[in-house]
Structure 1
Amino acid sequence: MNRERLLTAGAVGTVAVALLVAGVVPGVLAGPDSREVVRPGPVQIADAAVAAENVSGATVDLRVETRLRHAGNPSENVTLVVRAVDGDSGLLQTTRRVDVGTLRGDRETTANATLSVEREGGYRIETVVYRDGERVDQGRTTLSGLSALQPPYARSDVTFAETDALPELSYSVADAGPNRTTLNVSTALTNGGDTAPDDLRVTVVARQAESNVVADRASVRVGSIRPGRTVAPSVRLTVPEGYNYYLDATLWRDGVLIDTARSTANLDPSRTISADETREEVEFEVSDFESDSATDGGRPTSDPTRLDTQAPGFGPVVALVALFSAGLLARRWAA
């Protein structure tokens, strides 16, 4: 056997052994790229919206809809934490955790959470996104005027009408006796809805302005008001003459107070009062969504730390001590 045959046989043997090892031990021939860790794609809050649901006399359910934007490689174990913080006290009211799961591809996903809070004041809704337990994004939105949300039993399309030609509450003197005055108080009610509610009742109270004592009260049943119609029910009140009065009217439906109105009756010629209305309509308001952090690849980036350039403990006293020490040292060297 010559030298060439020996070399050929050795090469064939080496290849055979390599093939045998590759078949017995899988992954020996795998390249280094196959063992690289795949980084998950970024997850960010794209938008958030809040809706009021299930309004009751004391509480309201806030439905928080958060849209998450994802791109790149799959992101596993994504969770959302939504909490309501009292706008005045800063105390945490309630928290909800939503498991989003795995996000794949370049798309947006919606995650919903419902928070039950008291129907008063305002709140700050904070949303935090976690990926595998790591915070990757957060945002907030504020709510105000929750008390303006009416429960279903208090909603009505019938209200006191107020126009220049037809005030919501007016009066005329029906009888002026030596000590008593009878007032004919008229109210104006308008149905701005599409149905005709029944069992409506108006109550008018006359309160003496200085003492706040109720001089007289009366009620009248209105019945049903057709859509788009205005009616003017009236009552008669007998009060002591020579005084000024506040006239307070309340509209009731099935025992529920649904609207109020106020006016004045000036029966004292030497002094007059005004209705002095301070009532203000405060609507339920939701602020725009605000992101609390800038994101870089799906991760919030913190602001640079500000350095305090003033060293603690170095004041005028220390400076004087330093000068005195330097003088002593210079005198010692001179000696």
Structure 2
Amino acid sequence: MKFEKTVVAAAIGVVVVSFVAAAVVPNALADSADEPLRPGHVDIEEVPISPGEITGETATLGVEARLSHRGNPTRNVTVLFRAIDSESNLVETDRTTDVDTLRGERETAVNTNLTVAREGGYRIETIVFRDGQRVDRARRQVSGLEALTPAYAESNVEFAEESAMQPISVGIGSTGDDGVDLDLSGALTNQGDESTGDLEVTFTVRQAESNIVADRVTVPVGDIRAGRTSTVDASAAVPEGYNYYIDAVLWRDSVHVDSARSVANLDPSERISADETETDVEFEASDFESGSGGGMSDDGAMSSDDGSRGEATSEETPGFSAVIGLVALLATALLARRRSQ
């Protein structure tokens, strides 16, 4: 009985001491319960980058930061994304994204879009902050943004590039005093799944040495079925005896879709290929003036196209020999008179 009284007295003593401690130090018991937990660990696993909307001037890059978390819940996490120009090292654009509380051992994807000029390259930096403190950073490099095709210029049709088929074929048509006709043909392949139309091709024929346009013609392209190759034909008139580059441009609703080049070697002493740009041969600009036939010269006389342009004549003016003979006869008579005096 005495033992039971002792236990009860001890229990009452513990309760009394607790109440006294709570009254004297109110936060003594709460401090241990409300002590903040140490936040978990956060780092960047990877940063995939993909192209988004592409316009004529800008490119939007989709950036995804995959954050790895482990440990206690982590609050107040933000991710800074920024694009830095590779040449100037200037920040082109940046965005900051808040992240919800990270819990458990798992990955979380944080996405944003960065819109930059569609040229050159950029360094994409991803920086993770926790409570304003930097905890991790990752860098990715992107380049060649000018190669991304805007949506309005996308097309499944392009000039054929096969070993057995040239994208541009050139043939010699009729010839005449004014020059020669070139028969031009472009091979187009539809690599899409549907038939396509509303296309046209412009053939531009340029004299190789001067880059002067000798002729230009635009022709429509008919419907091309999926997976098929079709040809478009045109004719261009040029002066003979020169070499030419033939540039073909494929258009869709006035948008440049694709291009190809070929050559026409009409100068027997010089030859060019599609990847050459300069040769040292004589050029005469008058052969590429607009129009044909004779024209007025500076003194009002008619010039002709019979091949005598620019050639000096060696023939004497009629009657010029008789005048010289008369002058010589008078000089002889005066000399004889002086001697007789």
TM tier, smaller = 0.7 to 0.9
Q: 1:31 to 1:183 in 2, by over 3 A?
A: closer
- In structure 2, C-alpha distance between the alignment counterparts of 1:207 and 1:165, rounded to whole Å: 26
| Number of equivalences | 272
Q: Which moved more, 1:21-30 or 1:165-174?
A: 21-30
- In structure 2, C-alpha distance between the alignment counterparts of 1:179 and 1:12, rounded to whole Å: 125
1:150 is aligned to: 149
| Cα shift at 1:20 | 3.3
Instruction: Name the aligned partner's letter for residue 240 of structure 2.
Output: E
Determine if contact 1:185/1:236 at 8 Å carries over to the other structure: yes
Q: 1:271 to 1:25 in 2, by over 3 A?
A: same
SS of 2:100's partner is strand
| Cα shift at 1:176 | 2.3
| Cα shift at 1:32 | 8.3
SS of 2:152's partner is helix
> Is residue 56 from structure 1 mapped to residue 47 from structure 2 by the alignment?
no
- In structure 1, C-alpha distance between the alignment counterparts of 2:203 and 2:222, rounded to whole Å: 17
2:42 is aligned to: 43
| Cα shift at 1:38 | 2.4
Q: 1:270 to 1:32 in 2, by over 3 A?
A: same
Aligned residue runs from structure 1 range 71-90, under 5 A? 71-90=70-89
Determine if contact 1:22/1:28 at 8 Å carries over to the other structure: no
| Cα shift at 1:17 | 3.8
Instruction: Name the aligned partner's letter for residue 251 of structure 2.
Output: W
1:203 is aligned to: 202
> Is residue 163 from structure 1 mapped to residue 137 from structure 2 by the alignment?
no
Instruction: Name the aligned partner's letter for residue 226 of structure 1.
Output: R
Aligned residue runs from structure 1 range 239-258, under 5 A? 239-258=238-257
Q: 1:37 to 1:272 in 2, by over 3 A?
A: same
- In structure 2, C-alpha distance between the alignment counterparts of 1:8 and 1:187, rounded to whole Å: 107
Q: Which has the larger radius of gyration?
A: 2
- What 5-or-longer segments of structure 2 have no aligned partner? 1-5, 278-341
2:124 is aligned to: 125
Q: C-alpha offsets along residues 281-331 of structure 1, whole Å, 9 cap, x if unaligned?
A: xxxxxxxxxxxxxxxxxxxxxxxxxxxxxxxxxxxxxxxxxxxxxxxxxxx
- In structure 2, C-alpha distance between the alignment counterparts of 1:95 and 1:12, rounded to whole Å: 65
Q: 1:13 to 1:270 in 2, by over 3 A?
A: closer
| Cα shift at 1:151 | 1.4
The structure with higher relative contact order (CA 8 Å, sep 6+) is 1
1:217 is aligned to: 216
| Cα shift at 1:167 | 0.2
More strand by share: 1
Q: C-alpha offsets along residues 178-221 of structure 1, whole Å, 9 cap, x if unaligned?
A: 44011101110010101122111011011001111100111111
1:137 is aligned to: 136
- In structure 2, C-alpha distance between the alignment counterparts of 1:207 and 1:170, rounded to whole Å: 16
SS of 1:76's partner is coil
2:298 is aligned to: none
Across the aligned residues of Structure 1 and Structure 2, the Cα RMSD in angstroms comes to: 2.5
Determine if contact 1:78/1:131 at 8 Å carries over to the other structure: yes
- In structure 2, C-alpha distance between the alignment counterparts of 1:46 and 1:8, rounded to whole Å: 59
Instruction: Name the aligned partner's letter for residue 141 of structure 1.
Output: R
Determine if contact 2:263/2:272 at 8 Å carries over to the other structure: yes
Q: Which moved more, 1:17-26 or 1:44-53?
A: 17-26
| Cα shift at 1:243 | 0.3
1:285 is aligned to: none
- In structure 2, C-alpha distance between the alignment counterparts of 1:9 and 1:220, rounded to whole Å: 110
| Cα shift at 1:223 | 2.2
SS of 1:197's partner is coil
- In structure 2, C-alpha distance between the alignment counterparts of 1:80 and 1:222, rounded to whole Å: 51
Determine if contact 1:249/1:262 at 8 Å carries over to the other structure: yes
- In structure 2, C-alpha distance between the alignment counterparts of 1:127 and 1:43, rounded to whole Å: 13
1:270 is aligned to: 269
Aligned residue runs from structure 1 range 227-242, under 5 A? 227-242=226-241
SS of 1:111's partner is strand
- What 5-or-longer segments of structure 1 have no aligned partner? 1-6, 279-335
Instruction: Name the aligned partner's letter for residue 212 of structure 2.
Output: V
SS of 2:19's partner is helix
Instruction: Name the aligned partner's letter for residue 129 of structure 1.
Output: V
Q: 1:236 to 1:27 in 2, by over 3 A?
A: same
Determine if contact 1:94/1:117 at 8 Å carries over to the other structure: yes
- In structure 2, C-alpha distance between the alignment counterparts of 1:106 and 1:8, rounded to whole Å: 48
Fraction of identical pairs, as percent:
51
